[in-house]
Amino acid sequence: MAKTELATLAGGCFWGVEELIRKIPGVIETSVGYTGGTVPNATYDVVKKGATGHAESLQIEFDPEKVSFETILEHFFKLHDPTTTNRQGNDVGTQYRSAIFFHSAEQQSTAQRVIQKVDASGKWKGKVVTQVVPAGPFYRAEEYHQKYLIKNPGGYTCHYYRD
């Protein structure tokens, strides 16, 4: 069995982030949930109010022999606006912030390097505000949120690939 790694990313509403990331070759499984906050066993009902410190996040299991963490981050920075603080599209609040929750020192270093590349590229009008913070407890979201855009084609998303 192949060795897998985890990546945990937040880039606004988790439905759209999941829909695009899950299609990357080498991504084995995705799960949406809540991380980065202070309330144990977070649920949508408390996170949606924006007072728990959690971000709507995507946890990604991937095969590093088929896709690198860096490649996943390159996709991540094309599918959301990393220059808006606590906002993506119509979704506003700390739960919609841009963040990389790293699982190792190597992931932390890679995240910082990729952010520098994105900033230097000039593709965004503003500076990247994506947080790079240690991964903590991840609380899987309710089942109706998992693979939401597969279950609800045409459902709300503000995520799309930008050049």
Give the list of residues 6+ apart from residue 87 with CB closer than 8 angstroms, or none.
Answer: 12, 93, 96
Quote the CA–CA distance of 16 and 53 in Å, as a whole number: 21
User: Is there a catalytic annotation at residue 13?
Assistant: yes
Pairing outcome for strands 91-92 and 131-134? unpaired
Q: How many residues does the chain have?
A: 163
- Distance between CA 162 and CA 122 in Å, rounded? 13
- Catalytic site residue from 6, 9, 10, 13: 13
> Look-up: residue for tokens 């503003």?
126
Q: Which residues are designated catalytic?
A: 13
